[in-house]
Amino acid sequence: MSHAPVLPPVTLSEQDGVRHLHLGTPWIQGSMRLKRPQELVLQYVQRMMAWLLFVEPDGVAQRRALQFGLGAGSITRFCHHRLGMHTTAVELNPQVVAACRGWFRLPDDGPRLQVIVGDAAHWVHHGPWQGAVDALSVDLYDHEAAAPVLDSADFYAACRALLTPDGCMSVNLFGRCASLARSMATLQQAFGAQALWVFKPTREGNTVVLAQRQPQHPPREVLQARAETIRARWGLPAPQWLRSLRPWSP
């Protein structure tokens, strides 16, 4: 007989006009600025959107976004509301979904938005998105936030299979150096070294990695032009990304 996992309680805190989501510990699992709820507050969450550097800005609204791990709903709200994308999120903890709907301005499901209570380990193989996802965000941590919950080569290969030819996965890696090195080796096994781009760690220790279905290495001037467009159109600090984002070199 299988037993349902014991899920941690969802708690909230507020400081300086920002509401934070916790899973029964002081670790922040997501944040929202109360006066500007559509803004991405946390630096690593902003960097999860760096896949925008590798697509034409005018076509973003025609693309599909998928999130494994809802957090405070920041990326889901941003992709749905600001970018106008068809957006789906998969979250294991129903309390997190309820908190996002009640306290973090997450809209109800609609024609372009679907939030699924389920396990990413199942949905990565059995969801209806094979080869159809343009922007996949993977941010899967338990309440201790020590290392990714799903971090195997099989899981990342299944993530790769979800992507369109120019699709990209953004993954948040947070943990000790040994954990990061292990995750990078696993990502390289699934995607190939040429398909990986890596940010320098944030002050909090989050390392965001971009993994592309097919390697893309646009000229610097193309990335700079797109970065300026992203900043002007969606308010993201994309020019700063270019100072800390590099192709992966094993």
The CATH homologous superfamily to which domain 11-247 belongs is Vaccinia Virus protein VP39 (3.40.50.150)
Looking at the chain, the number of H-run helices and the number of E-run strands are: 8, 11
Q: Where are the domains of the chain?
A: 11-247
State the CB neighbour count (10 A cutoff) for residue 131: 11
Among 201, 137, 198, 141, smallest CA distance to 171 is for 137
> Rounded mean pLDDT of 177-193?
90
Which pLDDT does position 150 carry in this prediction?
75
Average pLDDT, the chain: 91
Which pLDDT does position 175 carry in this prediction?
61
Under a CB-based contact definition with an 8 Å cutoff, are residues 144 and 126 in contact? no
pLDDT > 80? residue 96: yes
> Rounded mean pLDDT of 44-64?
97
Least confident of 31-40, 124-133, 184-193: 31-40
In DSSP terms, 170 is beta-bridged to 137, 210
112-125 pLDDT, tens digit per residue, is 999 999 999 999 99
150-167 pLDDT, tens digit per residue, is 788 999 999 999 999 999
Which pLDDT does position 250 carry in this prediction?
84
Among 141, 136, 152, 137, smallest CA distance to 185 is for 152
For the beta sheet containing 163-174, the strands, ordered from the edge strand earlier in sequence to the opposite edge, are 113-117, 86-91, 64-68, 133-138, 163-174, 206-212, 196-199, 245-247
> Rounded mean pLDDT of 44-50?
97
In DSSP terms, 14 is beta-bridged to 19
Which pLDDT does position 148 carry in this prediction?
56
> Rounded mean pLDDT of 100-119?
96
The residues near 90 (Cβ < 8 Å, ≥ 6 apart) are: 66, 67, 68, 69, 70, 116, 118, 119, 120, 123, 127
Q: What is the pTM of this model?
A: 0.92
pLDDT > 80? residue 61: yes
pLDDT > 50? residue 145: no
pLDDT > 50? residue 2: no
pLDDT > 90? residue 26: no
pLDDT > 70? residue 149: no
